[in-house]
């Protein structure tokens, strides 16, 4: 059997989910329209 590695990048999904929550909360800035960096701690 050949070993396969699956990498899933959820940073973009996290930004989208955060943007939707911010817009639902009444914020006017859509963070999906600006460059962003996810910093892991």
3-state helix, strand, coil in the chain (%, to 5): 40, 0, 60
pLDDT per residue over 1-41, tens digit each?
A: 899 888 777 878 888 899 999 999 999 999 888 887 766 66
pLDDT score recorded for residue 12? 80
How many of the other CB atoms lie within 10 Å of CB of 30? 11
> For residue 5, what pLDDT is reported?
84
Write down the pLDDT at residue 13.
84
Q: What is the pLDDT of residue 7?
A: 74
What pLDDT is attached to residue 8?
74
């Amino acid at each position: 059997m050949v070993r396969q590695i699956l990498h899933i990048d959820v940073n973009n999904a996290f930004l989208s989910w955060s943007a939707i929550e911010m817009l639902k909360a009444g914020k006017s800035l859509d963070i999906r329209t600006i460059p962003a960096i996810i910093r892991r701690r």
